[in-house]
Amino acid sequence: MMEGTDPAAILREIQALARANHVPVRLVSQRQIQQTQGSEAPQGVIAFADALSEADLSELVGKGPLDAHAGRPPAKEDSVQLAPDQPDGDLPSAAAVALESADRKVPARGAGVAKTAFLIVVDGVTDPQNLGALLRSAECAGVTGVVLPRHRSAHVTPTVTKVAAGAIEHVPIAVVPGVPGALQELERLGVWTVGLDERGPQPVFSLKLGDGPIALVIGAEGKGLASLSRERCDVLARIPLHGSIDSLNVSAAGAVAMFEVARQRAAESG
C-alpha cells in the first residue's frame, strides 16, 4: 500500500481483511507503486497472488471422459427444425432439437455428467474489455466454467481482471489448443453445445436450456463463430433484435444468452 494515503474506509477494510487472513501488508512510496503497478489506476494498492491454475475440460463438467456415444442426442442427420408456430409450452429442450429416429432409442444426454454443468466457450474474442465483461456476466449467471483457446484470443490480463470485477477468482477457466477440438471433447463428455449466431435458424429463447449440461459458444467480435466451430455446435441460435442496429456487442450478446439459461434453470428448480 502507498504510504501517506488518506485513511479511506476501503483502505482500512483492505488492511483488516489482510490481517484476518495473515497476509502481510507493506507501506511503500508512490514511486514504488508506479514502478510495480500492472494497471493504469492501482489507487494506491497492489496485491500479489499466485498465478491462476488452469482447469481441465473434463473438470469443468464434473466428470472424466465418457464413452464416445454416452449421454448424447442422436446424430445431426436425424435432427428436425422447430416449427415456428409451436406453442411455448411445447418448446423442446436443447437436447430434443435433435430427435431420436423412430426405429432406435438414444440415451439421455449428459448421462453421468453433472447436470449443473454450465459452460461458456469463447471462440476468438480478442478484446480484453469484452472478455472481462463476459467473465463478470458468467459468474453472475452461475456459469461453472469458461473455455478459452490458447491462440488468437484474449487471456487473463490486468485489464481483463479489472473488468471482470473478481469473477476470475470464482469461475474455473480451461485453456484448450482449439475450440473445434474442445467442442468434440464436450460432445464426448455428453455436453450439449449451443452456438450463438446471428444467422441461427431459431431464437435462443425458443430452446429449453435449463434441464441439463450445456455449453454456450460465443464467437469473436465482428466475424462471430469460426466456420469449423459453427459446424461442430449441436445447434445454432440467434438473439432476436428489434431495432435498427443489426448486431449486439459480443459481451452483451453473451450476457443475454447466459441469463436466459440462468432464468430457465431457476424456473426448473422451482
Reported as a single tens digit per residue, the pLDDT across 165-213 is 999 999 999 999 999 999 999 999 899 999 999 889 999 999 989 888 9
pLDDT in tens, 26-51: 888 888 887 887 666 667 788 887 88
- Domain coverage including residue 98: 57-268
**Same domain (yes/no): 121, 41:** no
pLDDT on residue 91: 45
- The total number of structural domains in the chain stands at 2
- Name 265's Cβ contacts closer than 8 Å, sequence gap at least 6: 118, 142, 209, 210
pLDDT on residue 10: 84
Question: What number is the average pLDDT over the span 154-172?
Answer: 91
Query: Are the C-beta atoms of 194 and 227 separated by less than 8 Å?
Result: no
**Run of H or E residues at 230:** helix 227-232
Query: Are the C-beta atoms of 137 and 257 separated by less than 8 Å?
Result: no
pLDDT on residue 105: 32
**Same domain (yes/no): 26, 134:** no
The answer to the question of residue 1 being in a domain is no
Q: What is the pTM of this model?
A: 0.74
**Same domain (yes/no): 95, 222:** yes
The DSSP call for residue 240 is -
Q: Which three cell numbers stand for residue 116?
A: 449443473
pLDDT at 65 over 80: no
pLDDT on residue 34: 79
**Same domain (yes/no): 17, 118:** no
**Same domain (yes/no): 12, 129:** no
**Same domain (yes/no): 127, 15:** no
Mean pLDDT of the chain: 80
pLDDT on residue 103: 33
pLDDT on residue 102: 29
Give the Cα separation of 199 and 263 in Å (integer): 24
**Same domain (yes/no): 34, 128:** no
pLDDT in tens, 89-136: 444 444 444 433 323 233 345 455 667 899 999 999 999 999 999 999
How would you label 68-106 residue by residue, b for 16+ Cβ within 10 Å and e otherwise?
eebbbbbeeeeeeebeeeeeeeeebbbbbbbeeeeeeeb
pLDDT at 243 over 80: yes
pLDDT on residue 109: 52
